Amino acid sequence: MFTATPLTLKNERSEKAARLVFLSMTLLMVIPLLLIILHLVAKAWPILSLDFLIKNPSHGMRAGGVFAPLLGTIYLVLFSLLIATPLGVMTAVYLNEYARDNALTRIIHLAVVNLAGVPSIVYALFGLGAFVLAAGIGRSVLAASLTLAIMTLPVIITSTKEALSSVPFAFREACWNVGATRWQTIRHVVLPNSINGILTGIILQVSRAAGETAPVMFTGAVFYKAIREGDFFAYGLLDQCMALSMHLFTISTQVPDVPDALPYGTAVVLLGTVLLVNAFAIILRVRLRSRKKW
């Protein structure tokens, strides 16, 4: 009964063109990533097995598995997460909910944003000077975790602050009007409704911490450390450890006659570890988002 006008047809063509452009941009990002992952898996396939995960490197890094580096990476990511997450969230809560908008807080915001772009080698030198030498911790899991935590704090602070800002101010006013204190409002209303953004920052922190080489190389990682296979408590806080990122760098550049599949296998394990942790965080975020009432 209705005939589309020339303007309607033009708008429909524009809509289809825009959809095609955005789809093409998405595919241009996703397809190369999938090709890279498939290439890594194909190259690593001859060596991928359960033994590769549960055995230590052997024969001068030319054989064996990646249990020691994998365990060290889990330790570093876990402890850096335990340090950086509460500090980052509390800092963001203060900056967004308590601090006044003045020159000092604006300078702090600018400093946090700028720190997110500082190269990792700078954090590595800072960790070496502050934690290994000045604090006397020495090269250890604790020193490396503290360095990674400092490095990832800006990302957590920024993402958490944006998540807190996205909660409508009317929610706060409604709580204050019924007699709730500022902290009660933050604890029971603001934080639960901003958990998605907070988890996003944590996901980014995990990905970066697991893949960094320079900070752990200067502060806690070693070329090789013998540990008992299957012992998930093999490293102490003040012990040095192996890490997947440094292990991959070592066998790719420092060890001759390494089997072709070994570096690719290490890369796949590192990538798989990051993806598993991210997948868990994403599933948790989706479940929490489903309970959101606005």
Specify if 24 maps to a domain: no
Mean pLDDT computed over every residue of the chain = 88
Q: How far is CA 225 from CA 222, 242, 281, in A?
A: 7, 6, 31
1 pLDDT tier (thresholds 50, 70, 90)? low
Specify if 154 maps to a domain: yes
Q: Is the pLDDT of residue 141 over 80?
A: yes
Specify if 184 maps to a domain: yes
Specify if 31 maps to a domain: no
Looking at the 3D structure of the chain, how many domains does it have? 1
What is the structure's pLDDT at 147? 95
Specify if 240 maps to a domain: yes
39: left (phi over 0), alpha (psi -120 to 50) or beta: alpha
Mean pLDDT of all residues in 259-265: 91
Farthest-apart Cα atoms in the chain, separation: 83
**CATH code at 96?**
1.10.3720.10
2 pLDDT tier (thresholds 50, 70, 90)? low
What is the structure's pLDDT at 292? 64
What is the structure's pLDDT at 201? 80
Residue 93 lies in domain: 50-290
What is the structure's pLDDT at 69? 93
What is the structure's pLDDT at 287? 78
* Number of residues written out for the chain: 294
Which residue's entry shows tokens 């700078």? 122
Q: Is the pLDDT of residue 238 over 80?
A: yes
Mean pLDDT of all residues in 120-142: 93
More confident: 263 or 280: 263
Q: Name residue 63's beta-bridge partners.
A: 58
What is the structure's pLDDT at 3? 77
Q: How far from chain centre, in Å, is Cα 154?
A: 12
What is the structure's pLDDT at 208? 80
Mean pLDDT of all residues in 117-122: 89
Q: Is the pLDDT of residue 25 over 90?
A: yes
Sequential DSSP letters for 155-224 = HHHHHHHHHHHTS-HHHHHHHHHTT--HHHHIIIIIHHHTHHHHHHHHHHHHHHHHH--HHHHHHTB-S-
What is the structure's pLDDT at 253? 87
Specify if 209 maps to a domain: yes
What is the structure's pLDDT at 277? 80
What is the structure's pLDDT at 28? 93
What is the structure's pLDDT at 291? 67
In terms of pTM, does the model score above 0.85? Answer: yes
Specify if 7 maps to a domain: no
Four-CA torsion 79, 84, 90, 91, nearest 10 degrees: 160
Q: How far is CA 202 from CA 181, 279, 284, in A?
A: 28, 12, 12
The tens digit of pLDDT for each residue in 160-213 reads 998 999 888 888 988 998 888 899 999 988 988 888 888 888 887 887 888 888
Q: How far from chain centre, in Å, is Cα 268?
A: 17
115 pLDDT tier (thresholds 50, 70, 90)? confident
Q: Name residue 57's beta-bridge partners.
A: 64
Specify if 144 maps to a domain: yes
80 pLDDT tier (thresholds 50, 70, 90)? very high
